[in-house]
């Protein structure tokens, strides 16, 4: 990272990573850590924390045991921030930003791919091919079906546009009513109309376990569930029961409650189920895009400009399309 004359130096930048640190990022002088113990040692004096390993709970685990008084800003290389919504960070003055915008189009394409795969029974075709079985059958027309998409952020809107392009009627559901968006309270009335229920909402106290036995019972037997949000949106035993009993037609799960999915989970083998390993947004070059989002925001921070993609910590997500915060104070400590 080059620093202009107008940019001030940082006291310290720490990066929490797993196997590989961020690509194309000048890491000279950066504190690199891979676990909670390392993070606890690095946080004192750290001004900016990049959570590159966004599947790690190291920040939550390290926070109570270390001095975070110099920390001003935490950035996560993900759209979801649920792993960072713990009391210590929530109650502090530390700004939290995410990587909103990187995953919108890839995830929308992935959802469209799942809809087409299930409607055209591509899993059945591949299974028949593996058996060398010339098994002719009829498949479903996608145009004219109806999708209920829960999550009205950029990812949800991108999914709605993508499905609309192939003739799917989309009801978009968000926290509150807006232009073209149903409030969350409308969801029970929309479920009986859904051919496709797409979950793309953040995991918050309001959305955790939203797809439970009651919600599944409201879906028609033809409905299929697609979850690209967070595993915690679904009460998995209730979903398993609905699938086993044929009360819904199928599910495509890119996220599950416990990742990786345990080997003995019934979800692996239930008919009509597609399981993928949390990859709906991970296209070629995605790591570079995530690094670019952070470096652009870091340049704003060092120039004393408002940050982009600032998370409302009381809600658990970014609340506007042009999300910014006031310039972060360089004096005083986090509470």
Span 167-194, pLDDT tens digits: 999 999 999 999 999 999 999 999 999 9
pLDDT surpasses 50 at 258? yes
Cα gap 323→335, rounded to integer Å? 23
Question: Which two structure tokens, joined as six digits, stand for 95?
Answer: 């700004």
The pLDDT tens digits for 129-164 are 999 999 999 999 999 999 999 999 999 999 999 999
Pick the catalytic residue from 182, 230, 236, 308.
230
Superfamily covering domain 13-102+284-318? NAD(P)-binding Rossmann-like Domain (3.40.50.720)
**Catalytic site includes residue 137:** no
Residue 222 has pLDDT above 90, yes or no: yes
Express each pLDDT in 11-62 by its tens digit.
Answer: 899 999 998 899 988 888 899 999 999 999 999 999 999 999 999 999 999 9
The C-alpha atoms of residue 246 and residue 284 are separated, in whole angstroms, by 37
Contact between 90 and 65 under an 8 Å Cβ cutoff? The reply is: no
Give the domain 104-275 fold.
Rossmann fold (3.40.50)
Q: Could you confirm whether 278 is annotated as catalytic?
A: yes
Number of neighbours of residue 72 by Cβ within 10 angstroms: 23
Is 182 catalytic? The answer is no
* Burial bucket for residue 43 (CB in 10 Å: 0-12, 13-18, 19+): buried
In the structure, what pLDDT confidence band is assigned to residue 321 with cuts at 50, 70 and 90? low
Active-site annotation holder among 8, 176, 244, 259: 259
For 223-238, the pLDDT digits (tens) are 999 999 999 999 999 9
Catalytic hit among 60, 278, 288, 300? 278
The model's pTM: 0.91
Same fold, 13-102+284-318 and 104-275: yes
Q: Please state, as a whole number, how many other Cβ atoms lie within 10 Å of the Cβ of residue 14.
A: 22
Structural domain boundaries in the chain = 13-102+284-318, 104-275
């Amino acid at each position: 990272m080059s620093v202009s004359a107008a940019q001030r130096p940082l006291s310290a930048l720490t990066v929490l990573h797993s196997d590989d640190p961020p690509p194309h990022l000048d890491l000279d002088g950066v504190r690199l850590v891979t676990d909670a113990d390392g993070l606890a040692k690095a946080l004192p004096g750290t001004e900016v924390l990049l959570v590159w390993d966004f599947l790690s709970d190291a920040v939550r685990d390290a926070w109570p045991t270390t001095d975070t008084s110099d920390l001003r800003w935490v950035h996560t290389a993900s759209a979801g921030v649920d792993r960072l919504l713990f009391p210590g960070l929530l109650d502090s003055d530390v700004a939290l930003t995410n990587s909103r915008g990187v995953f919108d189009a890839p995830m929308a394409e992935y959802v469209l791919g799942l809809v087409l795969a299930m409607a055209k029974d591509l899993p059945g075709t591949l299974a028949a091919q593996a058996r060398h079985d010339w098994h002719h059958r009829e498949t479903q027309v996608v145009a004219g079906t109806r999708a209920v998409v829960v999550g009205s952020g950029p990812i949800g809107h991108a999914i709605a546009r993508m499905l609309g392009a192939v003739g799917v009627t989309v009801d978009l559901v968000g926290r509150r009513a807006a232009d073209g968006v149903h409030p969350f309270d409308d969801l029970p009335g929309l479920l009986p109309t859904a051919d496709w229920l797409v979950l793309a909402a953040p995991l918050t106290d309001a959305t955790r376990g939203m797809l439970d036995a009651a919600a599944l019972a409201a879906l028609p037997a033809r409905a299929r569930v697609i979850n690209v949000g967070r595993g915690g949106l679904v009460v998995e035993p209730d979903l398993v029961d609905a699938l086993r009993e044929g009360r819904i037609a199928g599910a495509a799960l890119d996220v599950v409650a416990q990742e990786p999915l345990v080997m003995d989970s019934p979800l692996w083998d239930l008919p009509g189920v597609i399981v993928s390993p949390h990859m709906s947004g991970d296209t070629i070059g995605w790591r570079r895009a995530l690094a670019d989002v952070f470096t652009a925001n870091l340049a704003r921070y060092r120039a004393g400009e408002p940050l982009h993609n600032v998370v409302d910590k009381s809600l658990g997500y970014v609340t506007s399309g042009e999300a910014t915060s006031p310039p972060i104070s360089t004096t005083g400590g986090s509470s």
